[in-house]
Amino acid sequence: MKKKDRPVNNRSLPGNESLLRQLWRDPMGRAGMIGVGVVILLAVFAPWIARYDVAKMNARAKLTGPCAQFWFGTDHFGRDVFSRIVYGARVSLEVGIVAVGIAAGFGYLLGMIAGFFEGRVETVIMMIMDIIFAFPSILLALFIVSALGPSIINTMIAIGIVNIPVFTRTVRASVKTVKSTDYIANARSIGLKKMSILFKHVTPNVLAPFTVQATLALSGAILTEASMSFLGLGIQPPNPSWGSMLSDARKYMERAPWLVLFPALFIIMTILSFNILGDALRDVLDPKLKL
């Protein structure tokens, strides 16, 4: 095998710079990292950042506007909105990470099998994925939670299941692209076994689009959780959720607009940050997209 035909197995870390440094040099990547970093800090240090107990009611302070004592005001039960938003970040990230982990794990395995081995196995796998894709994701997630019962665990499972087809298709397409390259044909011609080709030459070149998809899927999972909680089939009380906060605030939008404003802003900021970070990550991991 000539030197120029050797596979490039380090696409996930292009160039000599570290991935984080390349992302930080990109303005969009820097903005995405800062936004995601803020949400992560809120989630990790929630017990120290939150000023009050999220479930503590205070009848004297209900519907108090933003002030020095209550930075984001209080809700109709007198609960501190800022503290509930901080703990809501923890819930959103927890649901998003676990749900995407479920979807990524099954999707990666199914996509590798379908793309590499093809034949009837691929047909059956992709047929199942097409059936799942036929249902709107939010409706399918609501159906699964309705069948299993509303809880944080079932919400994670439901969101994970509806995202499996996205990862399966992404990995399958990447595997097929890698399989058509010259170095895979050369590896086969010298007698390398299928499993050796799969793990040594195919897998490293699939990690880049897979990582990007995982980043983008986090924003979708967080939005789905907020939508389900808004409809009452997601995170259940007393756990705070940005979606359930918006749902509770509908009756008080005119009297207390801050009840809608702050949860909505954090949902928008979080989803936008993950999307921007995903786009920047895609540009770094696949420089050809810049051409």
The full set of domain ranges for the chain reads 28-286
Rounded Cα distance between 247 and 76, Å, is 12
- Dihedral, CA of residue 69, residue 71, residue 72 and residue 73, to nearest 10: 20
Residue with more model confidence, 113 or 197: 113
Q: Which helix (H) or strand (E) holds 222?
A: helix 203-230
Percent of the chain with pLDDT over 90: 26
Three-state SS string across 41-92, please?
A: HHHHCHHHHCCCCCCCCCHHHCCCCCCCCCCCCECCCCCEHHHHHHHHHHHH
Rounded Cα distance between 270 and 94, Å, is 13
Q: Residue 236 is encoded by which pair of tokens?
A: 């259940």
End-to-end Cα spacing for the chain? 28
Q: How far is CA 279 from CA 28, 33, 96, 174, 207, in A?
A: 8, 12, 18, 17, 15
Q: What is the mean pLDDT of residues 270-274?
A: 92
Interacting residues of 241 by C-beta distance below 8 A, sequence separation 6+: 88, 91, 92, 225, 226, 229, 234, 235
Is 115's pLDDT higher than 90? no
* 129: exposed, middle or buried (Cβ count in 10 Å: 0-12, 13-18, 19+): buried
Residue with more model confidence, 150 or 184: 150
What are the pLDDT digits (tens) for 182-235? Answer: 666 666 677 667 676 777 767 777 888 888 888 889 989 999 999 888 888 888
Q: What are phi and psi of 141, to 5 degrees?
A: -65, -40
Q: What is the mean pLDDT of residues 18-42?
A: 86
Q: Which CATH architecture has domain 28-286?
A: Orthogonal Bundle (1.10)
CB atoms within 10 A of CB 78: 17
Is 90's pLDDT higher than 70? yes
Is 260's pLDDT higher than 60? yes
Instruction: Give pLDDT, residue 194.
Output: 66
The amino acid at residue 173 is A
Q: Is the peptide bond before 263 cis (omega within 30 degrees of 0)?
A: no
In the predicted model, what is the mean pLDDT of the chain?
Answer: 83
Q: Locate tokens 């800090």: which residue?
A: 41
Q: What is the mean pLDDT of residues 99-117?
A: 90
Q: How far is CA 31 from CA 27, 36, 62, 275, in A?
A: 6, 9, 36, 11
